[in-house]
Structures are given as C-alpha cells and as structure tokens.
C-alpha cells in the first residue's frame, strides 16, 4: 500500500490535505506529523513512502530546513511544499533544497489535488540531475547544494549550531557523544568549505536556514 506523509502543525489543514490525498489516491495510507522531528522520524521509518506534503512553518523547522532534512532522509521521495510562506523566491528556494513543487496554502482543493497527482508521477529526486556543475554555479548555489547534500544527522547538528547550542547540549539532544558531534562538525565544515562553526552558521544563514517563515 502506498504511504503518503502529511507534515503540518495545523490539524484542520492536515485533514484538508488528507481529503485531497483520498480523492487522488483512495487506497493510500496517510501518516500525519505535527512537528519536524515527528516528520523526520516518520520519513525514516515509513515503508513504501511515495510522497511528502510539507509545511515550512512547523515546530522545529527554520527556513527551508524541513525540506533539506526530509530530502536527506529519503532523497527518492518527492516533497510537495504547501505553505503560507510568501515572497517571490520561496518556490525557487523550496525547489533548490529538494522540493518538486510549491503551493500556497490558500490554493483551491482542485489545484492541490492536481499537484499531488503530478508529484506522484514525478521522477524520484534521487535520480534527477541537480543542475549545472560547479563551473556554472553562483557561489550561493554551490553552498546550497552542499547543504542539501549533508546527511540527516549533519543537518540536525548544523541546525543546533544555528540555535546557538554548545557541543555538550547538541550531544545530549541527539543522544551522541561530544566527540561524535565534533566529528560531524568537522565533516560539515569540510563540505561547506569553511574554517569554523561560526562560518558554517553564516553559510547556513545565507541560505535562509534560519529564516522563520
């Protein structure tokens, strides 16, 4: 049975999205999550996950971090963002971090249903090109791609750094040793081509990972 995850912190809107899913894929098994942590857990555990419907404004999410984190967990599963985030660049930013589409929350039910149907027919993200190579990228595009390529744990560590947490706090929150946190930070800095955690945080901020939509 196909599984579809609806990640949104508003129960009524989750019900509306579940109705849209039922109209498009009546046999689908729907999983709901109200926080980014719950969505990440469900994404990692769900079998036959075919689609993620994601809101950017969720507890635990900053900017486009929800897309980056869930895409890292399951890069083969398309992510359709349905959010009230505004700004002309929101849709482009969402796609840059791994989403296949972006819809405003005030879209008609029929529009959402069509987008769900199209997303389910999309080639898995893990098999599609990410765009031009380094020689054709703007600097922010290159860094954005590296952030999108971080592992789920590395993203969690980076988000904790953005929250100003120390290694000891991060280790406690993520149930790992401080040495493991340091190892992840070393890998993050290498991938982002920065020299310290402050520069890593600045690179993430430049990509909107600390923008609260």
Q: What is the pLDDT averaged over residues 199-212?
A: 66
Query: For position 124, what pLDDT does the model report?
Result: 39
Cβ proximity of 152 and 69 under 8 Å: yes
In the chain, domain spans = 3-127, 134-206
| Domain 134-206, second-level architecture | Orthogonal Bundle (1.10)
Q: From residue 128, how far is each of 36, 85, 134 by CA, in Å?
A: 25, 26, 17
Q: What is the pLDDT averaged over residues 22-51?
A: 92
- Could you report the per-residue pLDDT of 156-179, keeping only the tens digit for each? 888 888 778 889 999 998 899 999
Residue 83 banded pLDDT, cuts 50, 70, 90: confident
Sign of the C-alpha dihedral computed for residues 98, 123, 27 and 109 taken in this order: positive
Cβ proximity of 207 and 147 under 8 Å: yes
Residues 6+ apart with CB under 8 A from 18: 6, 30, 32
User: Domain 3-127 is classified in which CATH homologous superfamily?
Assistant: Response regulator (3.40.50.2300)
- How far apart, in whole angstroms, are the C-alpha atoms of residue 53 and residue 6? 5
pTM for the model stands at 0.68
């Amino acid at each position: 049975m196909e599984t579809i995850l609806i990640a949104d912190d508003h129960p009524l809107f989750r019900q509306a999205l579940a109705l849209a899913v039922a109209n498009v894929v009546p046999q689908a098994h729907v999983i709901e999550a109200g926080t980014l942590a719950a969505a990440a857990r469900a994404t990692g555990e769900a079998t036959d996950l075919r689609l993620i419907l994601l809101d950017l404004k969720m507890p635990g999410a900053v900017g486009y971090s929800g897309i980056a984190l869930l895409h890292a967990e399951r890069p083969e599963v398309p992510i359709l963002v349905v959010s009230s985030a505004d700004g002309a660049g929101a849709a482009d930013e969402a796609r840059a971090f791994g989403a296949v589409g972006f819809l405003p929350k005030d879209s008609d039910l029929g529009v959402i249903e069509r987008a769900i149907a199209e997303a389910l027919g999309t080639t898995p993200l893990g098999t599609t090109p990410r765009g031009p190579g380094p020689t054709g990228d703007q600097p922010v595009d290159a860094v954005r791609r590296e952030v999108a390529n971080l592992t789920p744990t590395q993203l969690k560590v980076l988000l904790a750094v953005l929250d100003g947490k120390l290694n000891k706090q991060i280790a406690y929150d993520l149930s790992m040793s401080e040495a493991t946190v340091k190892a992840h930070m070393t890998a993050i800095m290498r991938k982002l081509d920065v020299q310290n955690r402050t520069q890593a945080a600045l690179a993430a901020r430049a990509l909107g990972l600390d923008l609260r939509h």
